[in-house]
Structure 1
Amino acid sequence: MKSRMIAGASALALAATLSACSSGTAEAGGTTTIDVWLMRDSVSEDFQTTFEREFEAEHPDIDAKIQIQEWDGIGEKVVAALASNDPPDIIEIGNSQMPQYSQSGGLLDLSDKVDDLGGEEWIPGLADPAVWDGKTYGVPYYAANRVVIYNKTLFEAAGIDAGSITTRDQWIAATTALNSGDIQGIYLPGQSWHALAGFTWDEGGTFASQDGENWTGTLDTPEAMAGMKFYAQLQALGNGPKDSDVASPPQTDIMASGDVAQIISAPGGARSVIAANPELEGKLGFFPIPGKTADTPGAVYVGGSELVIPAASDAPEAAYTFIKALSGEKWQRKLAAAMGYVPNKPSLADAVADDPGAAAMAVAGTQNGHSTPIAPGWAAVEAQNIIHDYMTAVLTGGDPAEEAQKASDEITRAMNQAS
């Protein structure tokens, strides 16, 4: 779920280590052993134990060895694994990382499996990054996106029904009414580019467009600039800093003070707020980021993961059997309910109906979820903080058109150089 640049400098050095420590695929008594890398917080210990037990009971010829990996340093480790002759048989990969790995030639082409998996139903925010050069290399695993977390007490005091907020205009009106005295209608720092992405997509814009093998930054288009204009309007209804992101300081700590009516966050942010201020237990609610009209929720950036099979796997058929089970309806429903994630198909979203945060998340994630530009060069845009710098420049008084043109030029350069 995290966007990481792939670090390949020490891939060859790690490859030897991986080959030495990986159990690989073994044939013993007709049983095929597969090594599976899942990421930290992808599954709980209970879910993992239950899935392994039931999967192996249904497939006694497969012995699945699940190893939990840490996000920090995973890019380098995956590069090394794909360069080795003894990689794990299945790897969980963040969806924003897919373009880098797909173009490497180290992943198995799964295009002929899409129909078997019901891929026509996959949510676009996961399905799109799994495709490279017309071929599908990843199977959508789970998704997550941002919602509005709100303080019920402050909404009630202002006489505002959060359930009635379904459009941007209603959201602005409610936030304006909440923003009085010591109360911030919303805490929105100046560099929350994931929120900007949603507003930009709602306006019909994007960050970059592709023409053949070349990319062009598009923050200077009227549509993208309209997204930034709305962001600035919303950001002004609070006291969020214009030169930092949601982590500096942690926006959940700011909301924990009790005088912030709303933040834009993944639902899990509510747990952090309550951990910082237990008195807010039971006083936080969720609703989808509103869209321009009530017919469609606001667009959101969908983070999440894909399941891939390295091309050098010794047991691709057994690996596919594992992936088909974990990405299928039965276990998608169980995973969504257990972990509070958005399942990989809209038809399964009712699995989180009893979880207010996940249910709000699933509304936009399944109906209006998007991905960032599907190109290896996008990682360079994030690493260089191009969009962060652009947002701060506009919010601190820079000419919107000039700053948008400057940022677009930098995106063009970064994406084409990296690609």
Structure 2
Amino acid sequence: MIGLKNWKRWAIFGLLGLCLSWLISCGNSPPETGKAKDPEGKATIEFWTMQLQPKFTDYFNGLIAAFEKENPAIAVRWVDVPWTAMQSKILAAVSSKTAPDVVNLNPDFAAQLAGRNAWLDLTDKVAPEVQSEYLPNIWKASTLNGKTFGIPWYLTSRIAIYNSDLFQKAGIAAPPKTYAELATVAKTMKEKTGKYAFFVTAAPGDSGEILESLVQMGVKLIDAQGRAAFNTPEGKAAFQYWADLYQQKLLPPEMTTEGHRHSVELYQSGQTALMSSSPEFLGNIATDAPDIAKVSVAAPQITGSTGKKNVAVMNVVVPKDTNKPDAAVKFALFLTNPENQLSFAKAANVLPSTTASLKDPYFNKVAADATPIDKARAVSAGQMKAAEVLIPTIKDIKSLQKILYENLQAVMLQQKTTEQALKEAEQAWNQEYASN
């Protein structure tokens, strides 16, 4: 059972694991939540989203009207909840059996409640031919122990954003594609310009980017039984990779204490030449650091020997205690069907999770005069074939991240050998796993 303190820590997990709604939202407060009463002759379902009003009010009002026209026996009450309040509200609602009928969450948090049997099992509720409309790797992100607990909705996939001016000054012709190339770039960049190539945080409670990099480098984090699987030659090589860069002073020393926000500050001030983010971040750079924006170029996400690319997913779930499961599933599938996904992806500048939607020219045809964000979107969409949710869908993933990051830091600071750190991390995780 996860304690309240651990639940709160999930609010800051990973820029891309949890920031999708933040990237496309505004901050108005929602109406009071609570079960709606059924009008005569209709079944009312309640639908919660995360901070999508007022920017998308017209979109959702139109979508709901279209659904109700097709399904005259069903009414939909839409409730928009602030990003910072969603997790506490849905946890309280599930605990008190007053949850809405359809909820917009991310798979990481949804998986924690799935581990408590909070969601309706959709495995047999969604026909195989409908399941096949979604990207296979993305569909798997909403499964736990062989059961489907959610339906994929919208996506983002990290790209590399690099400062072409600094790359030119360093004599580097192209951005790195792999972590092996990144190490070479980091050395050259420091020698030629005095700048760091990039920043990534190893602070235990922050971004999961390093955790994802381990998977991209071929590390298996846990086995089929949930026990540690990272104490391997691949795990040793990955730990040593980050430790070497740190000890060679090719990474900012504050990476052990500062979070992802520091990465943004360093890049926008011209102190680093590269950062990992979503395409929409180019818009933020244009506003906050226009001079840096002029020399910022999008490139594919850096990966390891596996070629795997990160993707962050938003899904919709149906609480197990709903008294209108069929109506709820019908609306969830309507919300996430290819046509509606394409419409929302264009409106919100995100990626759809359905194969048919991604084939639209909007995601793969780039005009010569396209904006930087348009070019970045095409780069991001082009990664979807190799993209997957890299971090395992387990209820206590944050504990695993903390154990690995703390031991990685110990190697960086030369407090432990790589072998010692991996062995102690393995023991710590297996002990925690055994106690759950």
Identify the TM-score tier after normalising by the shorter chain: 0.7 to 0.9
User: Corresponding residue for 1:390?
Assistant: 407
Q: Aligned equivalents of 2:257 and 2:105: distance in 1?
A: 28
Q: 1:205 aligns with which of 219, 222, 234?
A: 219
Q: Deviations over 1:202-251 (max 9, x none)?
A: 3331222242xxx322332211222223334555534352412433x621
User: Cα 1:87–1:239, aligned 2, differ >3 Å: closer, same or farther?
Assistant: closer
CA distance in 2 between partners of 1:334 and 1:70 (Å):
23
Question: How far has the Cα of 1:35 moved from its partner?
Answer: 0.8
Match of 1:136 in 2: 148
8 Å contact kept, 1:25–1:34:
no
User: Within 5 A, what are the aligned runs for 1:154-303?
Assistant: 154-162=166-174, 165-179=176-190, 180-191=192-203, 194-211=208-225, 215-233=226-244, 236-247=249-260, 250-292=262-304, 297-300=307-310, 302-303=311-312
Alignment correspondent of 1:401: 419
Tell me if the contact between 2:400 and 2:429 (Cα under 8 Å) persists in the aligned partners: yes
Q: Which residue of 2 aligns with 1:358?
A: 377
Amino acid paired to 1:414: E
Aligned partner of 1:17 in structure 2 is none
2:90 is aligned with 1:78: yes
1:312 corresponds to which of 318, 321, 324: 321
Q: CA RMSD in A?
A: 3.1
The letter of the residue matching 1:145 is S
User: Is 1:32 aligned to 2:43, yes or no?
Assistant: yes
Q: Distance in 1 between matches of 2:426 and 2:393?
A: 17
| Higher mean C-alpha deviation, range 367-376 or range 397-406 | 367-376
- Displacement of 1:255 after TM fit? 0.9
Q: Secondary structure at the match of 2:351?
A: coil
Once the 2 structures are TM-superposed, how far is the Cα of residue 321 of structure 1 from its aligned partner? 1.9
2:391 matched residue in structure 1: 372
CA distance in structure 1 between the aligned counterparts of 2:434 and 2:391, rounded to whole angstroms: 15
Contact residue 121 and residue 345 of structure 1 kept, 8 A: yes
Distance 1:216 1:336, change over 3 A: same
- Asked if structure 2 preserves the Cα contact closer than 8 Å seen for 1:208 and 1:411, the reply is no
Q: Measure how far apart 1:34 and its partner are.
A: 1.6
Task: Work out the number of aligned pairs and report it.
Answer: 392
The structure-2 alpha-carbon separation of the partners of 1:104 and 1:239, relative to structure 1 and needing over 3 Å to count, comes to: closer
The answer to whether the 8 A contact 2:199-2:255 is kept is no
Answer yes or no: is the 8 Å Cα contact 1:39–1:68 preserved in 2. yes
Change (3 A) 1:274 1:408: farther
Equivalent-residue separation in structure 1 for 2:180 and 2:70 (angstroms): 52
Q: Over residues 178-211 of structure 1, what are the superposed CA-to-partner deviations in whole Å (9 max), with x where a residue is unaligned? A: 3323322223344476332333223331222242
Runs of 4+ in 1 over 6 A off after TM superposition: none
CA 1:126–1:98 in structure 2 vs 1: closer, same or farther (change >3 Å)?
A: farther
SS of 1:289's partner is coil
CA–CA distance in 2 between the matches of 1:175 and 1:237?
6
**SS of the residue 2:155 aligns to:** strand
String of CA shifts for 1:112-144, please: whole Å, max 9, x gaps: 233356324544554334223322121111223
Match of 2:111 among 87, 99, 119: 99
CA contact (8 A) 1:190 1:395 kept: no
8 Å CA contact 2:212, 2:390 repeated in 1 = no
Question: Cα gap change, 1:62/1:160 in structure 2, threshold over 3 Å: closer, same or farther?
Answer: farther
Q: Which runs of 5+ in 1 are unaligned?
A: 8-19
| Counterpart-to-counterpart distance in 1, 2:382 and 2:434 | 35
Contact 2:134 2:353 in 1 (8 A): yes
In 2 relative to 1, CA 292–281 (structure 1 residues): closer, same or farther, beyond 3 Å? Answer: closer
Distance in 1 between residues matched to 2:183 and 2:355, nearest whole Å: 29
Distance 1:232 1:356, change over 3 A: farther
Paired AA for residue 400 in structure 1: T
Which of 51, 60, 64 aligns to 1:48? It is 60
**Shift, 1:319, TM fit:** 1.5
Paired letter, 1:239: P
Equivalents in 2 of 1:67, 1:117: separation in Å?
Answer: 30
Match of 1:10 in 2: none
Structure 2: give runs of 5+ residues left out of the alignment: 9-31, 367-373
Q: CA offsets, 1:280-322, max 9 Å, x none?
A: 23432222223446xx74432x332221112222322222221
- TM-score normalised over the length of structure 1: 0.81
The code of the aligned residue for 1:338 comes to A
TM-score with structure 2 length normalisation? Answer: 0.78
Residues in 2 aligned to 1:341 and 1:200: alpha-carbon distance in whole angstroms: 26
* Change over 3 Å in CA distance of 1:219–1:169 after alignment to 2: closer
In structure 2, C-alpha distance between the alignment counterparts of 1:234 and 1:357, rounded to whole Å: 28
